């Protein structure tokens, strides 16, 4: 296959762009304080209450985070981060894996892993620093 370079003919005129640059506005797709409608809040509350009730006697964190209600909450996506942080502040529980999966971050220091109070504090501080509180 051969390629040839096309040279402009006598009628060729370069495209003239506007003298002022066009401004492109990219919407903020993921806002830290995402608008949570009542239906989403209600669904989150139902699922989190179900998860708490059905895992309260579990000793395995792996089993707790594999629970269908917990997985469904994670499936609700980024808009529930604020709801999880609210719930965590009101009633500390093992929401850390959900937060890690939804945010891609983990503010808990290695030496604090396993200490519910310190892990909760780390995530609530993270939430404040990132505009969720």
User: In angstroms, rounded to a whole number, what is the distance separating the alpha carbons of residues 23 and 42?
Assistant: 39
Is residue 2 predicted with pLDDT exceeding 50?
A: no
pLDDT digits (tens, 9 = 90+) for 44-103: 999 999 999 999 999 999 999 999 999 999 999 999 999 999 999 999 999 999 999 999
How far CA 26 is from CA of 23, 30, 31, 33, 128, in Å, comes to 10, 12, 13, 18, 25
Q: What integer pLDDT is reported at residue 16 of this predicted model?
A: 52
The predicted model scores a pTM of: 0.73
Q: Is the pLDDT of residue 27 over 80?
A: no
At residue 25, the pLDDT reads 43
């Amino acid at each position: 296959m051969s390629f040839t370079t096309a040279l402009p003919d006598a009628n060729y005129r370069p495209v003239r762009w506007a003298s002022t640059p066009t401004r492109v506005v990219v919407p903020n797709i993921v806002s830290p304080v995402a608008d949570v409608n009542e239906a989403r809040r209600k669904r989150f509350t139902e699922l989190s209450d179900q998860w708490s009730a059905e895992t309260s006697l579990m000793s395995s964190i792996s089993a707790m985070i594999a629970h269908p209600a917990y997985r469904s909450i994670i499936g609700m996506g980024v808009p529930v981060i604020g709801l999880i942080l609210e719930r965590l502040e009101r009633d500390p529980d093992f929401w850390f894996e959900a937060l890690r999966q939804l945010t891609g971050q983990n503010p808990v220091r290695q030496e604090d892993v396993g200490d519910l109070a310190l892990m909760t504090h780390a995530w609530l501080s993270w939430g404040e620093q990132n505009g969720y509180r």
